[in-house]
Amino acid sequence: MFKLKSLMVFLLISVLAVSFGGCVMTGDREDLIRSGHADLTTGNYELADRKGKKILRSWENNHQAMLLRAKSAYGQGDVNKAVEILTQMDYLCRKDFCPNETAHIEGMILLASLTNDEELIRKSQDNIDELKRNLSVQQYNTLIDYYIEQGRPADAAATFDKLMASCDGKLTSDQKLQGFVLYYSVFELEKAKGIYSELTHKQKAQLRKQFGEIQL
């Protein structure tokens, strides 16, 4: 039990460290969520629950509101209700789509702790790791675009090195094409050659139109 609780705390810290939104809310909803969490810290669970309900009346699958209600129920000692809300959250994601992966993972960690489900904890850790990888890729892509706009291809290519490392070299077709162009443009020909062999025939034809005969 101690091991499970320690793992749960570690996972929650990891979730908080991943600044990944994924759920766009209006100012009013954000205020309700923020004040609802303040209510939780002061033990005003019923008020927090009402705020969560208010959001859910217009947005059935709002994960932050569902998480707020689940924590409120748990705070009032109603574990069954908390489990029911979190199970519904997971069901709605599987049925439709997940509007907020971070809140979903936090909810599943709470659900695992309430049901003593170690397997769910492990799955949550896998999801957290994937979120971190996705966030790193997004950050590197943004930085690469910035360097290209600033006319700094060498910095863009160096950042692409980091992008490759963050996703263990598992690049999409478009990323491979971008990587080749960056490396070829700054004459890092060995790296360009490694990526070129993985490009599609269509991409290679596109590159020949752009650069002429490819010299590697």
CATH T-level assignment (fold) for domain 132-211:
1.25.40
Of 54-68, 76-90, 202-216, the least confident? 202-216
Question: Could you read off the pLDDT of 6-38 as tens digits, one per residue?
Answer: 444 444 444 444 433 444 445 688 889 999 989
| Among 166, 41, 29, CA closest to 103 | 29
Asked if domains 2-122 and 132-211 share a fold, the reply is yes
Backbone angles phi, psi at 77, to 5 degrees: 85, 5
Q: What is the CA 66 to chain-centroid distance, rounded?
A: 19
Between CA 80 and CA 96 the distance in angstroms is 24
Q: What is the CA radius of gyration of the chain?
A: 23
**DSSP 3-state assignment of 171?**
coil
Q: Return the pLDDT at 12.
A: 45
> pTM for the full model?
0.50
What the block records as the tokens of 174 is: 């478009």
Q: Where are the domains of the chain?
A: 2-122, 132-211
Res 4 pLDDT > 50 = no
* Burial per residue of 137-152, b for 16 or more beta-carbon CB atoms within 10 angstroms, e otherwise: beebeebbeebbeeee
The answer to whether 165 touches 143, Cβ cutoff 8 Å, is no
Q: 2-122 — its CATH code?
A: 1.25.40.10
Q: Return the pLDDT at 167.
A: 77
Measured over the CA atoms of residue 114, residue 116, residue 120 and residue 121, the dihedral's sign is positive
| Among 185, 146, 191, CA closest to 165 | 191
Question: Could you read off the pLDDT of 64-80 as tens digits, one per residue?
Answer: 999 999 999 999 999 99
Give the position of tokens 């490759």: 164
